[in-house]
Amino acid sequence: MTRGAILFAFNSPKYDYYVMAEHTAKRINHFLNLPVTIVTDESSLASSTGYNFDKVVTATPDKNNVRDWGIWINKGRYQAYEFSPYDETLLLDVDYMVNSNRLLKCFELYDDFCCHDRTAYYMYPGAEQEVLSTHSFNTLWATAVAFKKTHRTKQIFDMLKMVQNNFEHYANIHHFIANTFRNDYALTLALRIVNGHTTPLQDIIPWNLLHIGKNTNVYKNNDSEFNTEFTIVYDNWQRGKIRKEYITIKDSDFHLMNKDIYVELIKHG
């Protein structure tokens, strides 16, 4: 039974996702002891700094998606099933900072698929969970997904493709804005459809996905390549003034919503 991780990295005019993926891959190798496959395109490959991925899959990116900061090439994630050379795969966003071996537990606890259904923010204890819309479901998260190649998981990824191709239709039904394609939303809907319009507990990672959110910055406590100690500084706005608050964390994974912070963190190795 082979295990590995897969990352999708297509450079946009604003961000070098390939370099982010190289950094994340090194941390996956180090902390999870897993080989890493990358799905990318020829132009992104040009920014390689020399890291050797286990396997490089080139694909044509779908650039038909935008966010407030520009083009966001996040479509096509459903191809993870087809492109993964492993029996068991960890599919991660490239801005997920691996600082521990915690994700390996997914392979022990799942039947054949698992993802997060709850999040927590480091500096906002008790923040509300995201929903597709007021009258719809809680969002599942495509940031970290583990899957085994089975008939059912193939159905999940096929369904993900179907939802991506009909995103506007599902946005109309569930009353969310379709302008920006979100893998999280597509996964939420795809998994529910495959499971007969339910979300079984067996498909959920039993701990929270930890985000670094708005008004929050992250600094490395030292410059070693596999540093796991960070200081998180939060701008707490009170009566028109900023009160800076911080905590220090160690050996704890997190997902950076702000790519600029990730770029800054990986500058020195």
By CB under 8 A, name the binding residues for another protein: 102, 105, 108-109, 120, 122-123, 125-126, 200-202, 206-208, 210, 219-221, 231-234, 243-252
3-state DSSP assignment of residue 17: helix
Minimum distance of another protein from residue 4's CB (angstroms): 20
Largest CA distance in the chain: 57
Three-state SS for 117-170 is: CCEEECCECCCCCCECCCCCCECCEEEEEEEECCHHHHHHHHHHHHHHHCHHHH
Minimum distance of another protein from residue 246's CB (angstroms): 5
- If the CB atoms of residues 38 and 123 are measured against another protein, the closer one turns out to be 123
Q: In what order do the strands lie in the sheet with 254-256?
A: 96-97, 254-256, 209-212, 119-121
- If the CB atoms of residues 62 and 245 are measured against another protein, the closer one turns out to be 245
Minimum distance of another protein from residue 261's CB (angstroms): 14
DSSP H helices, the chain, are 17-27, 42-45, 80-83, 105-109, 151-165, 167-174, 183-194, 259-265
Quote the tokens at residue 106.
């997914």
What is the phi/psi pair of residue 226, to 5°?
-110, 40
Minimum distance of another protein from residue 2's CB (angstroms): 20
Minimum distance of another protein from residue 109's CB (angstroms): 4
Q: How many CB atoms lie within 10 A of CB 245?
A: 12
- If the CB atoms of residues 50 and 126 are measured against another protein, the closer one turns out to be 126
Cβ distance 17 to 9 under 8 Å?
yes
In eight-state DSSP terms, residue 202 is G
- If the CB atoms of residues 51 and 124 are measured against another protein, the closer one turns out to be 124
The sign of the dihedral angle between the CA atoms of 257, 263, 264, 267 is: positive
- If the CB atoms of residues 68 and 108 are measured against another protein, the closer one turns out to be 108
β-pair type (229-238, 241-250)? antiparallel
- If the CB atoms of residues 71 and 249 are measured against another protein, the closer one turns out to be 249
Minimum distance of another protein from residue 22's CB (angstroms): 25
- If the CB atoms of residues 9 and 92 are measured against another protein, the closer one turns out to be 92
CA distance linking residue 243 with residue 170, whole number of Å: 41
Minimum distance of another protein from residue 169's CB (angstroms): 32
